[in-house]
Amino acid sequence: MNENFAVFNNRSIALLIENVEKENDVKIYYGKIVKNDTDYFFVGTNNKINVTLDIDKLNRIKKIDSEMKLQIPFVKDCEYFLWLTIESLPNENKESLKDTEINWEE
């Protein structure tokens, strides 16, 4: 994996996940980006949520600047943010999401 991503290691991040099949259905999770051997993960502040960040996701991470913090209050004190989308999944794929600890039905 490209070491240019090392700048993300142990940095705070706001993870936004949007359900594209339902209007205004967005969840925000706060945590850190951590590196384990050669892989990067989003780990929620409660240590329950754990999402693998592949190269595509790592390339989509954006730095939060001071102007963005003023305009978008939900980024709080995070240094970075990542916006992901989901859509309806067949029931057999929902099982694989349990490893992330993200429960959309909550």
Please write down the HEC assignment for all residues of 18-69.
EECCCCCCEEEEEEEEEEECCEEEEEECCCCCEEEECHHHHHHCEECCHHHH
pLDDT grade for 26, boundaries at 50, 70 and 90: confident
Q: For 42-92, how does the pLDDT look when each residue is reduced to its tens digit (9 = 90+)? A: 998 877 778 889 999 999 999 998 888 888 888 878 999 999 888 765 555
Closest by Cα among 26, 43, 2, 34 to 83: 26
- Indicate whether 35 belongs to any domain: yes
Tally of domains in the chain = 1
Range of the structural domain that residue 86 is part of: 3-100
- Indicate whether 106 belongs to any domain: no
pLDDT of 32 higher than 90: yes
The whole-chain average pLDDT of the chain stands at: 80
Cα atoms in the 13 Å half-sphere on the side-chain side of 45: 10
Q: What is the mean pLDDT of residues 23-36?
A: 87
- Indicate whether 105 belongs to any domain: no
Q: What pLDDT, on a 0 to 100 scale, did the predictor assign at position 106? A: 47
Q: For 3-13, how does the pLDDT look when each residue is reduced to its tens digit (9 = 90+)? A: 588 899 999 99
pLDDT grade for 33, boundaries at 50, 70 and 90: very high
Give the pair of three-digit tokens for residue 41: 């993960």
| Separation CA 51–CA 21 (nearest Å) | 21
